[in-house]
Chain A
Amino acid sequence: MELILETLGLAESAQLLSLSPPGWGANLLRGLVNSLKIAFGAFGFGLLIGLFGAYGKLYGGPVLRDLLAIYTTVIRAVPELVLILILYYVGTDLINKASSALGYGRIEISGVVAGIWVLGIVQGAYSIEVLRGAIQAVPPGQIEAARAFGMPPIMTMWRVTIPAMMSFATPGLANLWLIATKDTALLAIVGFSELTLETRQAASSTRAYFTFFLAAGALYLIVTLCSGVVFAWIEKWARRGQPSLREDRT
C-alpha cells in the first residue's frame, strides 16, 4: 500500500489526510458530520414546513394563503448566500435581544441549531412547492373514497394523501436533500465549522489546497452517491403498486 502511494507520489497527501494528529483527516470528517447533521435537520425541518405549508396553500383561508405565497416567493427570489447572512445575523440578534430583555445575558447559539434553522427555512419554501404539486397529483377519487367511508381529515392525510403523494414527491425531495447537503457549505461564511470551512482551514495551514479540496469534493460525492441509493430505495417503496413504465404492459 505504502509502496503504491510512494510510486504515485501521493505519500505526502496520504500523510496530510491521515486521521491521526499530524494529518487533517479527522478535522475533515468532523466537518462532514456537522454538515450532515445540518443537512439532515434542515431537510427535516423543511419537510415539516413544506407539509403544513402545502396544506395551507391548498386548503387554507385567504390570509394564510397570501402569507405563504409571500414566504415562498421571497425565499425563492433571494440568493441563498444572502438569505443565510440575513437569517443568521437577524436570528441570533433577535434571540439575544429577547434574552437580554428577559434579563439573561448573551446566549451562545449552537452552530448546528442555527444552521438547521437557517437552511430549514430556505428548504421549507421549496418543500412547500414540491409537496403542493404532489398532493395535487393524487387522484381526487382516492381522497373522496376516504371521505365517503367516514375517515376524519387528519387520518385521510396520514393514511391516504401522504402515502399516495410520496411517489410524486420523492424525485423533488431527493433534489432538495442534495441541495441541502451542499448548501451547508454556504454556512462557512458565518464561521460554522462544517466540511468546507474545515477544508479551508486545513488547506491554508498546510498550503496543500489541491489535496484538501479534492478530498472534500470526494466526500461530497460519496454523500451524493449514498443518498442516490437511499432515495432509489425510497422511490421504489413509494411507487409500490404502480406498474413500471419499462415493464411490458398488456
Chain B
Amino acid sequence: MPTAASAKPSPESDTLGEAIQVEDLHKSFGSLEVLKGVSLNAHKGDVVAIIGGSGSGKSTMLRCINFLETPTSGKITIDGEQVEMNADGSPANRRQIERIRTRLAMVFQQFNLWTHRTLLENVIEVPVHVLKVPRTEAIAQARILLDRVGLGDKADTFPAYLSGGQQQRAAIARALAVDPNVMLFDEPTSALDPELVGEVLTVIRDLAAEGRTMLLVTHEMKFAREVANHVVYLFEGRIEEQGPPAEVFGNPQSARLKQFLSSVA
C-alpha cells in the first residue's frame, strides 16, 4: 500500500483541525469482511471523495462514521471527540452518538425524505425537534435553504410530487438545516436520471466552494476530480490509493486503480 504514510493519523498534531479521524476500521457482515482496516483523516474544510467499485466498502465506511452501521472494530473521532464503543463495536453511549450525529448530516442515495411531510416540514423537523430551535426561526432558516437549492416555491409540496433531482436537493437543504460540521454524501446522484444529476452536483459544488467539510462517496469521477481536495480509492475493503485528485486521477500508481479508472471513464 503506497498510501500508509498519509493515512496515518497524527493524534498529537492539530487534533483541533481534524473533522473526522477513522483508525483501523473493520466491519464484517457475518463472515463477510467488508472493511479490512481503513484509516482516514479529514481536516476541517476538506472535501474527501471516496471512490471504488461496487462492493468495495465505500458506502459501508461512510455509514460506519455515523454508526448507521456498527463497526466491528476500530476508532472513530469526530471533531476531536472519540466515539465510545463497546467491545463489539456498538456505540457505548447512545446520547453521545445522537449528539455527534446532529453535527454530521447525511445525504442518502435514495433521498429518504419523510414522505408524510412537506419539504418545509422535512427541513425544520430536526432543528425544531432535535436541536430545539424555535419554530419561527427554523422556518425562516428553512425558507432560505430551500431558496438556496432552488426549491423556494416548493416549500409546501410533498416529496412524492417532485423529481428525484428536486428531492435530492431538498434532502441537501434538510442536511444543511442542522448547520453540520461535516456532511456525508452517500452516492447522492446514483439514483437519479442522467439529466437530473447536474442540478444536484451544482448544489454540492457550491457547498464545497464555501468550505464545507464533506465526505463524498461517488461514481462521478469528473466531479470528484473537480471538487475534492483528497481522493480515496477503496478496493475490497482496503484503501488502495489516496492523495490529491490530480495525483490519483492523473498519475495512478496501483494497477487496480488504473484499471478501475479506465473502466469507468
Query: Do A and B come together as binding partners?
Result: yes
Contact A149/B160 with A142-B112, A160-B114 known, Cβ cut-off 8 Å:
no
| Contact count band on B | 20 to 34
CB-contacts of B128-185 with A (<8 A): 129-130, 158-161, 178
Q: A145–B174 Cα gap in the complex (Å)? A: 10
Chain A positions within 8 Å of B178 at CB level: 149
Contact of B98 among A139, A151, A163, A238 (CB under 8 A): A151
CB-contacts of A119-145 with B (<8 A): 139, 141-142, 144-145
Contact A240/B158 with A148-B101, A150-B101 known, Cβ cut-off 8 Å:
yes
Chain B positions within 8 Å of A163 at CB level: 114, 116-117
CB of A145, distance to nearest CB on chain B (Å): 4
Contact of B129 among A159, A166, A238, A243 (CB under 8 A): A159
Q: Find out whether the CB atom of A149 lies under 8 angstroms from the CB atom of B101.
A: yes
Residue with the highest number of chain A CB atoms closer than 10 Å, among B100, B106, B159: B106
CB-contacts of B54-113 with A (<8 A): 66, 68, 94, 97-102, 104-106, 108, 110-113
Q: A242–B115 Cα gap in the complex (Å)? A: 7
Q: Find out whether the CB atom of B116 lies under 8 angstroms from the CB atom of A241.
A: yes
Q: Find out whether the CB atom of B130 lies under 8 angstroms from the CB atom of A241.
A: no
| Contact count band on A | 20 to 34
Q: A142–B99 Cα gap in the complex (Å)? A: 19
CB-contacts of A131-177 with B (<8 A): 139, 141-142, 144-152, 155, 159-160, 163-164, 166-167
Q: Find out whether the CB atom of A241 lies under 8 angstroms from the CB atom of B115.
A: yes
Q: A141–B100 Cα gap in the complex (Å)? A: 20
Q: Find out whether the CB atom of A242 lies under 8 angstroms from the CB atom of B106.
A: no
Q: Find out whether the CB atom of B106 lies under 8 angstroms from the CB atom of A241.
A: no
- Main SS of chain A's interface residues? helix
B15 touches A (CB below 8 Å): no
Q: A146–B94 Cα gap in the complex (Å)? A: 14
CB of B162, distance to nearest CB on chain A (Å): 11
Q: Find out whether the CB atom of A145 lies under 8 angstroms from the CB atom of B116.
A: no
Residue with the highest number of chain B CB atoms closer than 10 Å, among A141, A150, A240: A150
Q: A150–B158 Cα gap in the complex (Å)? A: 23
Q: A163–B116 Cα gap in the complex (Å)? A: 7
Q: A163–B118 Cα gap in the complex (Å)? A: 13
B126 touches A (CB below 8 Å): yes
Q: Find out whether the CB atom of A155 lies under 8 angstroms from the CB atom of B117.
A: no
Q: A146–B110 Cα gap in the complex (Å)? A: 14
Q: A149–B115 Cα gap in the complex (Å)? A: 16
Q: A163–B114 Cα gap in the complex (Å)? A: 10
CB of A146, distance to nearest CB on chain B (Å): 8
Contact of B66 among A139, A146, A148, A166 (CB under 8 A): A148
Q: Find out whether the CB atom of A141 lies under 8 angstroms from the CB atom of B112.
A: yes
CB of B135, distance to nearest CB on chain A (Å): 14
CB of A169, distance to nearest CB on chain B (Å): 13
Chain A positions within 8 Å of B94 at CB level: 152
Chain A positions within 8 Å of B113 at CB level: 142, 145
Q: A142–B116 Cα gap in the complex (Å)? A: 10
Q: Find out whether the CB atom of A243 lies under 8 angstroms from the CB atom of B114.
A: no
Q: Find out whether the CB atom of B102 lies under 8 angstroms from the CB atom of A155.
A: no
Q: A160–B129 Cα gap in the complex (Å)? A: 12
CB-contacts of A181-225 with B (<8 A): none
Residue with the highest number of chain B CB atoms closer than 10 Å, among A139, A149, A163, A167: A149
B240 touches A (CB below 8 Å): no
Chain A positions within 8 Å of B66 at CB level: 148
Chain B positions within 8 Å of A240 at CB level: 116, 158
Chain B positions within 8 Å of A152 at CB level: 94, 98
Chain B positions within 8 Å of A242 at CB level: 115, 158, 160
Q: A129–B164 Cα gap in the complex (Å)? A: 34
Q: A243–B161 Cα gap in the complex (Å)? A: 7
The 3 closest A-B pairs by CB, nearest first: A241-B158, A150-B101, A141-B112
Task: Give me 12 A-to-B residue pairs in the complex whose CB atoms sit less than 8 angstroms apart, sorted by A's number.
Answer: A144-B108, A145-B106, A145-B112, A148-B105, A149-B126, A150-B102, A151-B130, A159-B129, A163-B116, A164-B114, A241-B116, A243-B161
